[in-house]
Structure formats: C-alpha cells, structure tokens
Structure 1
Amino acid sequence: MSGSATPTSNADAILPVIPSALVEVDVVARWRDGLPAAVPVPDGDGEPELGSCLETFGVDAAVLRALDVSSEVGQVRTVPLSGGRFGWAIGSGDGTPGRWRTVGAALARTARSRLEDSDEGGNTPEDLGEALDVEYLQFRLPADADEEVVSGLTLGVTLGDYRFRVTQRAAPPRLRKVLLVAETEESAQRLRPVARKAREWASATALARDLANTPSNIKDPAWLATTAAKTAEHVPGLRATVREEKWLADHGFGGVLAVGGGSSRPPRLLELHWDGGDSDAPHLLFVGKGITFDTGGISLKPAEGMEMMRTDMAGGGAVIGAMSSIARLGLPLRVTALVPMAENHVSGSAYRPGDVVRHYDGTTTEVANTDAEGRMVMADALGYAVREHRPDMLVDVATLTGAMKVALGLRTGGVFSSEQSLAERVRQAGERVGESWWPMPLPEDHVADVRGTNADVRQAPEGPGAVMAALFLREFTGGLPWAHLDIAGPARAEKNYDEVVAGATGFAARTLVQLAEGLAD
C-alpha cells in the first residue's frame, strides 16, 4: 500500500465501528421450545391462513382474530402465551420473493423495538428475563420454502435491523441470531448454503452503507481509502493498493486532481484485486465513484439537502463492499476494482468552468460545470483500467445524475450498456438479489454533442442529463464491453421500506456480487 494517510479535519471525531455487526442466520430442522418464535401468516383467498400459528402457538383461532392477526405483508402481532412467553405472527401476503424481504425486516425491527423498550426501561439483565431472549429468534419456514424465500428472509432480517451511529454510548442490545426452521433435515441442508450466500450479499450491502453513512469530517479520501484497505486485510486473497496524490500527478490523473484541487484533503485512488481463477478466467473490472463530499465546487449546489452529499461515494462504497464478498465467496474469476476518491470543494485552487483537463489516457475534457465532477474522476479510472488492467468487461457505478431520479424515481437504478446482453445480466443479477434495474438508451444522435470545441470532449453538454453523462464515460472505455450503473435515486433513502433503512442504502453492492458469480459460472 503506497502513500500515507492525511489526518481528517476533525482530529477529535469519534470514529464509527466498521463493519457494522449483522444478524447471524442459519437454517435448521429442529424447533426449540421456549425460544421466542415468529410464524408467517399467508393470504388465502383474501383471508389470513392461521393454521401454522394455531399449531405453533397452541392458541384458539378466536384469540388470533381478537389480536387482529392479518396476512398483510410485514404486519406483526404479538401473541401472548402461557408462562409470560410470547410469539409473533407476521403477515406474508402472497409470498412473492420481494415480500419475504419485508417480512424479515419487520421481524428484525420488531425485535429491536422490544429490546430497546426493555433497555430504556432501566431494567437489569435479571429483570429482563424473557425480553433478553429476543436476541435469539426462530422463524417457521413455510412447508414449500425455496431459495427465494430463504434469500429474502435472510436479507430482511440482516439488513432491516441495520443501524449506523457515531457515538461513545454503549451499544444497545440487538438481535443476534435468527434460526429459520425448515420442515425436514433434508430441506435444511439444501437451504443452509442459500442463507449463507444471502448473508454475504447483506454484508456487501452493509459495508457500502457504513462507508456512505460516515460523516465527511471523518471521511476524507485518505480515511476512505485506508479504511477500505484495512478491511481488505481481513479477507484472504483480497489485495489492496492505495495511490496517493503524488502518484496520481506523476501518472497523469488530471480529472481526479482537478476535482480534488479545491480541497485541503488530497485525493486518492484505491485498487482492489481478487484473483480467484486461472489465467483463462474472465477478468471483470469495477469502477466506483468515490467523491467523499460534493459541494458542487464553483458551480455550488443549493444548501438544501447538501448534508446527504456525504453519500456521493455510494458507488465506490458498493464496489468496496462487493469486492469483500466476492473474495469471501471465493468466486472463480479475476476481479479488479478502482475507486477514484476526491472531495469536491470550493477554494482558490478549485477547478473552474471553462478549464481544459487532460485525463490519464490523454483525452482532454472541456469543463462546463464543476458539479459534474463524478464523470471527471471516473474518466481517469476507466482509462487506467483499459490501459493497465486490460479487463474483459467494465462496469462502473455512480451516483452520477439528478436526471436519473427524475427518470426512474428513488428505488430503481439505470443501466446504460454498450451491449444489450450485459445490461440484461445486470438486470437479472439485481432481480436475484432484490435490486431493481431498468435499461436506458445510448442514442447515437447525441454522440456528436459530446465532442468538444476547445478539447476532445465536453464534460456536461446540453441534452438529457443521464444519457449525456453515460455517453461521456463511454469515450474512455476503449470499446470494451461496458455497463454504466447510475444509482443517484436508490443510493439514498428518506424512510424505511422493505429491507432498506433511512440513509445510505448500499444499493448495487449485492448486484455486483451476483453479476460476478454469474460470469464465473
């Protein structure tokens, strides 16, 4: 690892614990008497099917009806049992895959609420009794549970309880383990690896959330690169290299240096490498936008909502999270990741509209808007990828354009690709892991608009914003199979839904893991 870390602007800042602890999940065949339990309530012709609740809890149907037990997805009702015990009935609706993420998240949040209520009540561990057992739960799987059910539940219980805090207070009690109880030992053995893989998807997502949620008084480029590299040290076979600003200058990373020039906290380039296959194995390369804070530079952003610009490196976070999980899963292919990192700030040394910047591959760019900084740093990384790493396929991920939020809303990512088959691979990978993607066009009639007047290309030409940004990036891909994932909408959330919590969502991390696995097959 080359380069040295630069101290953050707040040396006394309380550092977050990364990675966040996640719920453990296992699939078993034995029901455990006395352990708090949850049972799904499916919909049966418009009425809740109560059979599993009746069998598990040993109560009358009249009791469940009086409690208003419902099949509405994610609705939780506490069922009082003898001896001061309790159980939970959770609506699972029609049981489609996305519903199970909601069910798992509802279970995790309900358990957290009960634990926090007990903790805030000033009780001692001896007083809490049964409440402390909520740290360990069992969930009865439906008889026909398949891989999609177990994957959804695992993602829900691990990510629905995610929480990020920068504090010196003692960590509150939390849900630690969930047992998914199958009908038979044969089913448990078949589904157990599914839960393990889904939890790895969740780990990738959670690490991406951790990095994006970290406040930017802590998270400068040096901190982000160093933290990612230290995380990689704990993953066998995953290699990390951090390039500091002198190396970037010596090697002509003009876009990264221009964007980072307005900040006192210099830029970095993170390289991660996983060699899981032989020389004939596919070589996949990820590029993730790593803007640790984005003021917009001289083209200053409005003040409203600027605090969320700490998450403008969500694409880089997704790439870092994905690489850790790809290595832990031991996928049999080669994967390289590049995360160009900079802070886009305002000062006398900031780059300007009208500047001409020379990128790593020699291409010159005419700057129109300093708030279109993501494509500037990614152009360097893409050119470096093509020339130095020679991959078989390129995939970049970025919170790149507000236009994408207008086009697709806040829960769907956009896919621009040089090859329809690659875009379809991304969409299918996302569908498998519970992330939604929509194919976007690269119309040839806008290609000429990217050509520059005073330079080779224009950074932010007039036209459809997300399309123009993608066409600009394509100039640096060397004709390789390439996909650009714009996650400006789903990378952040204002409220909880499904397994997502407010703040950084970690969107795209597990899609990248599944995409890599698909290529390795």
Structure 2
Amino acid sequence: MTQETDMKYWLSLIFALALTTGGAVAQATEHKSKPPTKISFTDELPTSGNLVLGVYENSTSGRFADVINDNSDTGLSYAIKAAKFKGKKMTTQVITAPKGSGYDQILLVGLGKNDNSNTTLDWQNIGGNAVQAAIKAFKSAPTMAFDTPKDITANIAYGAKLGSYYFDKYYTDAKRHKHQPSITIVTADAKAASDFYQAELDPVANAVWYTRDVSNEPANIIYPQSFVAYWQELFDDMDNIKITVFDEKDMLKKGMGAIYGVGQGSKRPPRMMIVEYRGGDKGEAPVMLVGKGITFDTGGISIKGSDNMWNMKFDMSGAASTIGSIYALAGRGAKVNAIGIAALAENMPGGNAQRPGDVVTSMSGKTIQIRSTDAEGRLVLADAVYYGDVTYNPALLVDLATLTGSAARALGKDYGALFTRHEELTNDFVEMGKKTGDQVWPLPLNDNHFKAIENEVADVMNSGPTAPGASAGAAFIGAFVRESTPWVHLDIAGVGWNSKATPMKASPGSTSFGVQLMNGYIKKHFEK
C-alpha cells in the first residue's frame, strides 16, 4: 500500500468499527411496501382511453382488432399498415387511434408468428415488454387486449405483472413512481385464463415480487431478525406451514459455531429460519433448499474496498430466493414436501468479530480455520446444510448463494454456476433454467477441490486454497453434506442482482434468481 492508500484503509476500518461498537443503529424513514400488481381478466374491450393491442406478425386482424376495425371503418388496419408495423416478436409502436374507435392512442405489441413457435418464456417476456412500453408511452398500464388461448394469455399476464415491478418506494417525488396497482387484460375466455393464472402463475409471481422487495431493501431495514419477521407475516395465513427460528443462544446450544462466528461481530445477532411446507404425503422425504443470508457484508476484519460495498445488501439473495421458493410452492398448494432454511447473519468488523486465523467448530463437529472473514457465506451454509441434511433426510438438497467472485467472472450475468457430485442432476437443472429464464451452467467439482480445502491447523479452511475459488467454495459446502444426499450448489454471485432492465424486471436490483428455477424443477420432478 502507498501511504495515502494505507491511511484511507485505516480510516475506513476505524469508521466501520465505530458504527458497530457504539451509537444508535441508523434507521431509514418508514415506508410501507407496495403490494404486488393485481391482474384481472375480462372479455369486454374498454370503450375509451388508451389501449394495448397484441398483433401477430403480418396481420391486421384478430378478435379484438376486428371489433376496432368495424367501429372505425377499417381504420385500424389502415393505421397499422401506414405505421409499417410488422408485428415481429417483442416490437412495440404507438399509433394514433382511428376515428370511431373511441380510443386516444393504441400501443401495438408484436406477438411474432402465429405458428406455436413462441415458448412459454417468450410469451412472458412479451407481457413484460408490453407493460414497460405502455408505462413509458402513457405513464400507466392501460387495458391490454390479446387474442390468444387461455394458457398463453395467462403467461402474458404473468410477464406483465413481473414486468411492472419497480422498487420505487423510497422516491419522495410522485412523478418518479411507476408502480402499477392493477392491470386489466382482455381475452376471449377470461374465466378460464383467470382460473389458470390464479392457480399456477400468480402465486409464483407474488413470490418473485416479495423476494425482490426483501432483497432490494437497504441493510438498515432488512437484517437477520427483520428478514424473519418479513416472511413470517407473509406466511401467516398460509396452510401447511411451520416456521422455526434459531437465535444465537440456540446456535450455541446446537454447536453451530460457524454461523455464530460470522454474526458475532454485529450488534444484530444471527438467525436461522426454517420454513417447512408439508403439501405432500406424510413421511415423504422433502426437497430442501438452503440459502446464504448475509444481510450485509463488509467483509468483517478482512474488510472489503469501499467502491462497491453498497451492493453487499444483495448478499442475502440466496436466502431470499430460498424462502421465496417455498412461498411459491405453498401459494400454489403444491403436492410436495419442501423445506427452506435461511442462514442469516450480518458480517461486521465489530469489537467481538472473529479474526483471520481463528478456529471454529461447526455443528457437524468439523473444525474450520478462518483464513478470511470475507469468505463468510460458506460458513453460515456449513451449519445450515448439515442441520438440514441430518435432520430431514431430504430427497434433494439445493443451496443457493452469492458465494464467489470467481463464479461471477466466469459466467457473468448470463448464468448461475452449478456444482454437484451427482452429475445426473445437471442436465435437468440446465433445461429448467432455459425454460424459466434462471439459466445455470455447470462448473467442475472433483476430489482435488475437496483436498484443497484441507488445513494444517483445523479440518478445513474457509479460504486460501490453490484450487479455483468457485470450485473450492462449492467443495467447502459439500464437505458438510453427506455424500449419499443428492446435492446441488448454485453460486448466484453474478446473477443475484442486475442494474439493467429486462422484460420481466424493469427495476434495477434483485433478480430473484432461483425462485422460478426451483418452482419449475420441483413441479416437474417431485410433485404428484
């Protein structure tokens, strides 16, 4: 370090220590969360205002287009041709509504070819893109009309709901607000589309919405205990749910030295939240999801640089997606047993924080030398996956974690990294990722990675091996899962948040990565 850099480092460390060892905890202004957008269906076109209209490629006709044409003496067909709108998938264009139609403006939304070539994900993206284009053009999402079958219409609605998500609750200027309280969709078979949507898709959309909300909140609002309270309130009126919460005293009694050690440097103590959903047969082995929940990560004594530390509020994305996935299953009434564990801690450099070189004992009995306090996610997961594995004997154990920069650098914003000892699971996860948009890509995990984490002082070390960082991190977690248990590790460090908009995520921030993937995977492979 240069003298100037050295001074900046120590000043930042002193400042961080001051925040954690004295004074009142900073609190943000109270802001009530906005409820998810509500979707309603009708078979009647509105008679005035603005309208969003789905148009197939190279077509000016359709159930609703024909009604507008009749009212405007074929004015709509003429306007579409004059605008040279071809209806290609994911294209949009605003036109002045023809005289006699009763509307002011019409947003044309391209549906692509009417030949069943669109995937379910395509239809969802079309819905999200349509809403975002409407908000941009009209400052709101007017009624949307689509002449499509019920299941397609329902998936357009699903995309529209997620595409309308904006984390704008802290804006004091009302002009910046883009949240849509409701969206109406016109379709021929409104009841059938609504029934399908409400049963299968809206519960998942709500889970994604709440997962994004809790992840986007600042760390002075969401910390281990408030994370627990947030989800407890949401699960309160759901059937077949049991919630257990371990506090720091429970962790000490159970010998959970790994997660306790991470949280001991913060004034906000660690928590482990276990949510059991019992929708399957009694005694049937559950699917288990375990999520890394570092509600803020300073790096601890191995403190991070300050440039991008602000986004370490997203280091609990794995825990948010884990509990969000259980919320989706419970909302659908899925015929499966599933358990979610959120391993929650705030990694701070307080006076009681653990140090590099310390040795802790995990619940499994294995000892861990702390090489870096900034490799804390694998520590909280060590106790969580072990507890879940030996307590519930799961049919499948999946952990989700924003674990390593190595995975993010390898795969960027396109894929989550998948690691497993059970290669037969890989293809199914990859395929489901393609269908849901939560795409994953396999990275290697072998005996050398497990050997690399062995330590001369303790059984294993949490950082510092010569093996690739992402693989070593996966091996560390795998060391606390029985080899007989089917296990998948998803490193979502590169995909847990994104500053860019997508058709189904207009707001920068949380991607809720994993909720749609796990909902789809469990539905296909475990539900009856």
Q: What range describes the TM-score normalised by the shorter chain of this pair?
A: 0.7 to 0.9
User: In structure 1, how many angstroms separate the alpha carbons of the residues matched to 2:399 and 2:391?
Assistant: 16
Residues 416, 492 of structure 2: 8 Å contact kept: yes
Structure 1 position 96 matched with structure 2 position 115: no
2:93 to 63, 77, 87: 77
Residues 356, 366 of structure 1: 8 Å contact kept: yes
Residues 93, 99 of structure 1: 8 Å contact kept: no
Structure 1 position 14 matched with structure 2 position 19: no
Instruction: Specify the SS of the correspondent of 2:143.
Output: strand
Aligned partner of 1:489 in structure 2 is: 494
Residues 136, 175 of structure 1: 8 Å contact kept: no
Could you say if the C-alpha distance between residues 476 and 292 of structure 1 is closer, same or farther in structure 2, counting changes exceeding 3 Å?
same
User: In structure 2, how many angstroms separate the alpha carbons of the residues matched to 1:9 and 1:152?
Assistant: 47
Could you say if the C-alpha distance between residues 485 and 520 of structure 1 is closer, same or farther in structure 2, counting changes exceeding 3 Å?
same
Moved more, 272-281 or 487-496: 272-281
The one-letter amino acid of 1:389's match is Y
Where do 1:126-165 residues align within 5 Å?
A: 137-142=143-148, 145=149, 147=151, 149-150=152-153, 152-165=155-168
Aligned partner of 2:245 in structure 1 is: 242
User: In structure 1, how many angstroms separate the alpha carbons of the residues matched to 2:416 and 2:179?
Assistant: 35
Displacement after TM superposition at 1:190 (Å): 6.9
User: In structure 2, how many angstroms separate the alpha carbons of the residues matched to 1:440 and 1:70?
Assistant: 42
Moved more, 170-179 or 102-111: 170-179
Structure 1 position 87 matched with structure 2 position 87: no
The one-letter amino acid of 2:105's match is F
Residues 298, 350 of structure 1: 8 Å contact kept: yes
After superposition, the C-alpha distances for 1:426-468 in whole angstroms (9 at most, x for unaligned) are 3333333332122222123332112221111121222211111
2:472 to 450, 456, 468: 468
User: In structure 2, how many angstroms separate the alpha carbons of the residues matched to 1:138 and 1:91?
Assistant: 13
Displacement after TM superposition at 1:395 (Å): 0.8
1:502 to 500, 503, 508: 508
Instruction: Specify the SS of the correspondent of 2:431.
Output: helix
Displacement after TM superposition at 1:38 (Å): 2.5
User: In structure 2, how many angstroms separate the alpha carbons of the residues matched to 1:84 and 1:42?
Assistant: 21
After superposition, the C-alpha distances for 1:80-118 in whole angstroms (9 at most, x for unaligned) are 2234533221123456324323321122123333554xx
User: In structure 2, how many angstroms separate the alpha carbons of the residues matched to 1:173 and 1:277?
Assistant: 36
Instruction: Specify the SS of the correspondent of 1:288.
Output: strand
Aligned partner of 2:60 in structure 1 is: 50
User: In structure 1, how many angstroms separate the alpha carbons of the residues matched to 2:241 and 2:47?
Assistant: 42
User: In structure 1, how many angstroms separate the alpha carbons of the residues matched to 2:305 and 2:81?
Assistant: 52
User: In structure 2, how many angstroms separate the alpha carbons of the residues matched to 1:191 and 1:443?
Assistant: 48
Aligned partner of 2:527 in structure 1 is: 520
Instruction: Specify the SS of the correspondent of 1:341.
Output: strand
User: In structure 2, how many angstroms separate the alpha carbons of the residues matched to 1:103 and 1:72?
Assistant: 11
Moved more, 471-480 or 171-180: 171-180
Could you say if the C-alpha distance between residues 205 and 9 of structure 1 is closer, same or farther in structure 2, counting changes exceeding 3 Å?
farther
Instruction: Specify the SS of the correspondent of 1:365.
Output: strand
Aligned partner of 2:456 in structure 1 is: 453
Displacement after TM superposition at 1:244 (Å): 1.3
1:315 to 290, 302, 318: 318
Residues 293, 312 of structure 1: 8 Å contact kept: yes
Displacement after TM superposition at 1:339 (Å): 0.6
Where do 1:53-452 residues align within 5 Å?
A: 55=66, 57-58=68-69, 59-81=75-97, 82=99, 83-93=102-112, 96-97=118-119, 98-113=121-136, 116=139, 137-142=143-148, 145=149, 147=151, 149-150=152-153, 152-167=155-170, 174=180, 176-182=182-188, 189=192, 192-194=195-197, 196-452=199-455
**Percent of counterpart pairs with the same letter?**
28
Displacement after TM superposition at 1:310 (Å): 0.6
After superposition, the C-alpha distances for 1:333-362 in whole angstroms (9 at most, x for unaligned) are 211111111011112322222221111111
Instruction: Specify the SS of the correspondent of 1:113.
Output: helix
Could you say if the C-alpha distance between residues 370 and 141 of structure 1 is closer, same or farther in structure 2, counting changes exceeding 3 Å?
farther
Could you say if the C-alpha distance between residues 346 and 509 of structure 1 is closer, same or farther in structure 2, counting changes exceeding 3 Å?
same
After superposition, the C-alpha distances for 1:165-206 in whole angstroms (9 at most, x for unaligned) are 343857777251232514x57xx6378415642222211111
User: In structure 2, how many angstroms separate the alpha carbons of the residues matched to 1:292 and 1:12?
Assistant: 15
Could you say if the C-alpha distance between residues 202 and 173 of structure 1 is closer, same or farther in structure 2, counting changes exceeding 3 Å?
closer
* Structure 2 gaps, min length 5: 1-22, 70-74
Could you say if the C-alpha distance between residues 150 and 469 of structure 1 is closer, same or farther in structure 2, counting changes exceeding 3 Å?
farther
Displacement after TM superposition at 1:394 (Å): 0.7
Could you say if the C-alpha distance between residues 334 and 16 of structure 1 is closer, same or farther in structure 2, counting changes exceeding 3 Å?
farther
Displacement after TM superposition at 1:306 (Å): 1.3
Could you say if the C-alpha distance between residues 490 and 146 of structure 1 is closer, same or farther in structure 2, counting changes exceeding 3 Å?
farther
Could you say if the C-alpha distance between residues 49 and 141 of structure 1 is closer, same or farther in structure 2, counting changes exceeding 3 Å?
same
After superposition, the C-alpha distances for 1:115-174 in whole angstroms (9 at most, x for unaligned) are 54xxxxxxxxxxxxxxxxx655132134xx474x44642332011110123438577772
TM-score (norm 2): 0.85
Instruction: Specify the SS of the correspondent of 1:289.
Output: strand
Residues 9, 217 of structure 1: 8 Å contact kept: no
Instruction: Specify the SS of the correspondent of 2:131.
Output: helix
The one-letter amino acid of 2:111's match is S
After superposition, the C-alpha distances for 1:446-503 in whole angstroms (9 at most, x for unaligned) are 3211222111112122221111111111111112111111111111111101212311
